[in-house]
Amino acid sequence: MAGQAPPPVFVVGCPRSGTTLLQAMLSSHPDLAIPPESHFIPSLWRVRARYARGGGVDAERLARDAMSTLRFREWDLPEEAVLAGVADLRDPSFEEAVAAIFLAYARARGKSRWGDKTPGYSLDLPLLAEALPSARFVHLIRDGRDVAPSLLEMPWGPRSLAEAAFVWRYRVRRGRAGGRAAGPERYREVRYEALVEDPGAVLAGVSSFVGLDLRPEMLDPASRRDEVVPERTRGQHRSLERPPTAGIRDWRRDLSPADVDRIEAVAGDLLEELGYERSARPRSPGGRAAGLAAVARGQVRAALWRVRHLVLGRARGRIPPSRRW
């Protein structure tokens, strides 16, 4: 449609799957800005009745709630810039109010388009697809046997390899299901292994999908590291200091047979579904038991999170807190 704004771009995926690399590549385009992780969009949508005003939403109130979150403080964006952007809106929709917040970030960097990279949004794709009807989603998927040990290194991560495998399996499955519901015109899957093996070819496909032209500077993501990665987490993204490189992690080289067995006991079905090579070793009884226990614990935690943060938060009229990661 003539005059229609270009779609916002959402990069999602299980943490430690390379989403920051793809964010830095896309942010290197002269038209597109993707700030540090937001986390606040689902929380605001769940209490959208709070912002109802006439035929639209109270964009200033919504923006002030967004700016009160811890994650927004890492954007290095003056609140005045956001408030000036929302002040120009007339009876905006929820999507238009959210877009004004992100566009304030983009314009502060001399850009005209916005996107988002919050890995946890892979769990919220149906919500985001409803809240932001023009959004497009790029789901980055990496071999779970490389992701699980990386999750264990994070201070906020799971406590065992089996639990880390469950996190990968749960989040990738949820993301794929949400993406299928959104439809192929709004959702695309990208493999991390392909991105680092042939970044030019993969970026060309992603760029076409989101309506960008491929630029050479997109192949130099290191130039955007300090912009897209908050200072407190830069130690977790050392790989951005070099060009996209295959084999930084390789489960065949880095994991013991027992560790591979633990991960595959939990996530082997999804690895096969995605076409990843399965190890030839049979599952041990111990690995199978650890896998089943991890799945049970993960399912209980997910259910408790939904009850505590979503149901009770809304019942008390509060903005539900976002997930930690």
Highest mean pLDDT among 42-56, 126-140, 209-223: 126-140
Whole-angstrom Cα distance, residue 111 to residue 229? 18
Show the tokens assigned to 29.
């385009």
pLDDT tens per residue, range 250-297: 999 999 988 998 899 899 999 999 999 888 665 566 665 666 676 666
Residue 306 lies in a domain: yes
Residue 210 lies in a domain: yes
Whole-angstrom Cα distance, residue 139 to residue 143? 13
Q: How far is CA 184 from CA 59, 170, 187, 190, 209, in A?
A: 31, 21, 5, 13, 10
pLDDT surpasses 80 at 241: no
- Alpha-helical segments (H) within the chain: 19-27, 41-46, 59-67, 79-87, 94-108, 125-131, 144-152, 161-182, 192-197, 199-210, 225-228, 251-254, 257-273, 285-305, 312-315
Residue 83 lies in a domain: no
CB 24 within 8 A of CB 203: no
CATH number, domain of 213, equals 3.40.50.300
Which residues, other chains included, contact 307 with Cβ-Cβ below 8 Å and sequence gap of 6+?
A: none
Amino acid (one-letter) located at 4? Q
What is the pLDDT, as a whole number, of residue 279?
A: 84
pLDDT tens per residue, range 298-322: 666 666 655 555 565 555 455 666 6
Whole-angstrom Cα distance, residue 302 to residue 32? 34
Residue 181 lies in a domain: yes
Residue 233 lies in a domain: no
CB 147 within 8 A of CB 168: yes
CA 244 to chain centre: 19
What is the pLDDT, as a whole number, of residue 5?
A: 83
Amino acid (one-letter) located at 262? R
Of 39-43, 169-173, 203-207, 317-321, the least confident? 317-321
Whole-angstrom Cα distance, residue 173 to residue 102? 28
Residue 247 lies in a domain: yes
pLDDT surpasses 80 at 211: yes
Residue 29 lies in a domain: yes
Whole-angstrom Cα distance, residue 15 to residue 21? 12
Q: Across residues 59-68, what is the average pLDDT? A: 96
Residue 2 lies in a domain: no
Q: Which domain holds residue 295?
A: 15-34+115-223+243-315
What is the pLDDT, as a whole number, of residue 2?
A: 42
pLDDT surpasses 50 at 174: yes
- The H or E element spanning position 163 is helix 161-182
What is the pLDDT, as a whole number, of residue 156?
A: 77
What is the pLDDT, as a whole number, of residue 292?
A: 64
86: nearest Cα among 110, 109, 68, 66: 66
Q: Across residues 94-115, what is the average pLDDT? A: 97
Please state, as a whole number, how many other Cβ atoms lie within 10 Å of the Cβ of residue 92.
21
What is the pLDDT, as a whole number, of residue 135?
A: 98
What global pTM score does this model have? Answer: 0.87
Q: Which residue has the higher pLDDT, 200 or 289?
A: 200
What is the pLDDT, as a whole number, of residue 4?
A: 76
User: What domain count does the chain have?
Assistant: 1
pLDDT surpasses 60 at 1: no
Of 40-44, 168-172, 187-191, 299-303, the least confident? 299-303
Q: Where residue 233 falls among pLDDT bands split at 50, 70, 90?
A: low
